[in-house]
Structure 1
Amino acid sequence: MKIISKYILAAICFLMLSCGGGGESTSENPSAAVLIAPVNNSECLSGQDVSETQSKVTFEWNPADFTDAYTVYIKNLNTQITTQYEAGAATSLEVTLAKSTPFSWWVISKASGSTQTATSEKRKFYNAGNGVVNYAPFPAEAIAPGNSSSVPGPTVNFSWSGSDVDNDIVQYELYMDTNSNPSTLKGSTPSENLNGIPVSANTTYYWKVVSKDQSGNTSDSPIYQFKSL
C-alpha cells in the first residue's frame, strides 16, 4: 500500500504542476481607462469655486478591465509640473486646481496580480476663470525635431501640434538659437510647420513656438533642444 500511495502522490504532484499549480499567476493585465471628463480641448465650467483663484474639478473615467487601482496624473501646462493622485479603485477624483490655467491629464490602470500597467489617452482642458471670454491657446507641443535629438543639416524642418479652446489660432512664431531661452524669431506661419531653417554643423540649438489667437492671446511652448550634425 505504501508503494501505491507514493505513486498516487507523485501523479497528483505532476498534474498540479502541469495545470499551473506551481504558483504561476493567471491574472490578466489591466486595460487602459476610457476618459469621460473633463472633455478634451475644452473649457471646464463644472468646477466648484474654492476661491477667486482656485476651483475643484472632478475627473471621471470608465472602469478598466482587470484593474484594481488607478493613478491620475495632472500636468500644469504653464509650469510643466505634473502631480500624481492615487484614486484607489474609484473611477472619479476631485482635485483643487488654479483657475484660468491649461492642464493635461491621463490615468494609469494597475492590477495587484500583474506588474503591467496601462495608460489612457492624454487630454487637455482649461480650468474656467472668472469672467474669461476668450482663452489663450494651449502651449504647442513639439513633433520634430524631437527633444534632445540629433538631426542632419544644413537645414532643419520644424513641426508641432497646436490646439485652442476657442479654435481661433491665427499664427505661430518659431524662435530658435543657441541660448537656453531662445529669442531669435525664425519665422511666422498660420500652419503647424516651418521648413528649411538653416543650422550650423555640430551645434546645440534651443527652440520654442509661440501660439497667438485672433484676440491677441499668446502662449509659449516648452523649450526644446536638438543637436545638428
Structure 2
Amino acid sequence: MKKIFLLALCINILLVSCNNDDGIIPEEQVPNTAPTTPILSYPTNNLVCIENAINFQWSPSTDAEDNVPIYDLQIATDVNFTEGLNTVSTIANSKLITLEKGLLYYWRISARDTKDATSDYSEVFNFYTEGTGIINHLPFAPVLVSPELNSEQSGNSTSLKWSVEDADGDSLTYDVYFGNNAESLDKIASDITENEYNADLTVTGEYFWKVLAKDGKGGTTVGQLWNFIKE
C-alpha cells in the first residue's frame, strides 16, 4: 500500500512540473514581428547629384525581438520600380553604390529580420546623377495631392490636384489621364499649366488617374497610377 502511495505521489509531482502555469510562452510560440520601416536620409528627395558614386543612407530600424535587421535597398529609373531595377541587401544603414551618369533615379528601402518578417517600404525619393554635357533634366514624377489614394468621394465631380518639381526650373505643362479602367484611361486634359483639373464622376465605383508632366524641351515624366472611389 505504501509503494502504491509513493508511486502516485511521484506521478503527481511529474504532472505538476510539466504543467506550464507560470504564464511563460515557449520560445517557439512567441509571435515574431517585422522591424520598423527605415527612414530615408540621403540622397534627399529631388536632389541633383554631382557625383554618380552615392553613399545611400537611412535611419536604423528597430526590432521588438532584437533581431538584426537586413535592409533591402531598391533603386530604379521609374517610380514604379520596374525599369533598371537594382536591389541590394545589407545589414549596415548605408551603402555606397555607383550609378550611371545623367539619369533620374528613384529609391526606397525596407527592413526584414532573420525570420523574413518584412516591414513596409519607405517613402520614395528621387534624384539625378549629373552627367557631362547634360543640358535638360526630366521633370520629377508628379506627386498626388488629392483626392487621397483609396479615398471615398461624393458628388458629380472632383478636383484632381498634384505637385511636380523640375530641377531646371522649367515651366511645365500637363496631360491628365482618367477613367474607370486602369488599363485604358482617357486623356481628359492636354497641355494645361495648372496643377489641378476638375473631373466629372459619371458613375459610382472606382476611378483611376495619372498625370504626364512635360518641360517643353522634350522631357516628359509620368506619375504613378492613383485611384479613389465614388460612393
The match for 2:36 is: 31
Aligned to 2:192: 188
Question: Does the 8 A contact of 1:141 with 1:161 survive in 2?
Answer: yes
Please say if residues 79 and 224 of structure 2, whose CA atoms lie closer than 8 Å, have aligned partners that are also in contact: no
- AA in 1 matched with 2:124: K
Tell me the residue number matched to 1:14.
19
Write the deviation string for residues 5-55 of structure 1: whole angstroms up to 9, x where unpaired: 33333233223773112631265531111222212110122324xxxxxxx
- CA shift, 1:116, in A, is 4.5
Tell me what 1:63 maps to: 60
Structure showing greater radius of gyration is 2
- Secondary structure at the counterpart of residue 128 of structure 2: strand
Q: Distance in 1 between matches of 2:118 and 2:208?
A: 36
| TM-score (normalised: structure 1) | 0.69
Percent identity between matched residues is 21
Contact 2:144 2:226 in 1 (8 A): no
Q: CA RMSD in A?
A: 4.1
Distance 1:92 1:119 in 2: 16
Q: 8 Å contact 1:42–1:125 — kept in the other structure?
A: yes
5 Å matches for 1:44-193? Answer: 44-48=49-53, 57-66=54-63, 67-77=68-78, 81=82, 83-113=85-115, 115-132=117-134, 135-142=137-144, 155=157, 157-166=159-168, 168-176=169-177, 180=184, 185-186=189-190, 188-190=192-194, 192-193=195-196
Q: Secondary structure at the match of 1:117?
A: coil
1:53 is matched with: none
> Quick one: structure 1 residues 211 and 118, their matched pair in 2 at CA, closer, same or farther if it must change by over 3 Å?
closer
Aligned mates of 1:205, 1:137 — CA distance in 2: 25
**Larger fraction in strand:** 1
Distance 1:105 1:10 in 2: 57
Counterpart in 2 of 1:54?
none
Segments of 5+ residues of structure 2 without an aligned counterpart are 1-5
Shift in alpha-carbon separation, 1:161–1:13, aligned structure 2, 3 A: farther
Whole-angstrom CA distance in 2 between matches of 1:200 and 1:79: 29
- Gaps of at least 5 residues in structure 1 are 49-56
Q: CA deviation at 1:105?
A: 1.0
Is the alpha carbon distance of 1:81 and 1:23 closer, same or farther for their aligned partners in structure 2, counting shifts above 3 Å?
closer
Aligned length: 217
